[in-house]
């Protein structure tokens, strides 16, 4: 877990052996879990799948800005 990302809320699942938290706090605000990112053939998560107000956190979790 990146030290600048702080989980909050309940654990809503597990992906690739790591917990999925209901939300994350960052220096930019609060984000809530939205979906699991699509992975390409090289095992990367293309950023073109992000919409405005979303962030991608390892391991391929997309969170959207709260509110």
pLDDT tens-digit readout, 32-56: 999 999 999 999 999 999 999 999 9
Q: Collect all residues with Cβ–Cβ distance below 8 Å to 7 and sequence separation of at least 6.
A: 1, 19, 21, 22, 23, 24, 25
pLDDT in the model for residue 4: 78
Indicate the average pLDDT of the chain: 93
Residue of 66, 62, 65, 27 lying closest to 47 (CA atoms): 62
Q: What are phi and psi of 48, to 5 degrees?
A: -70, -10
Total-model pTM: 0.88
Q: How far apart, in whole angstroms, are the C-alpha atoms of residue 7 and residue 23? A: 6
């Amino acid at each position: 877990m990146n030290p600048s990302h702080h989980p909050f809320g309940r654990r809503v699942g597990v992906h690739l052996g790591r917990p999925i938290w209901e939300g994350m706090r960052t220096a930019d605000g609060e984000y809530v879990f939205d979906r699991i990112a699509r992975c390409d053939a090289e095992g990367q998560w293309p950023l073109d799948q992000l919409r405005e107000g979303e962030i991608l956190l390892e391991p391929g979790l997309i969170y959207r800005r709260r509110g």
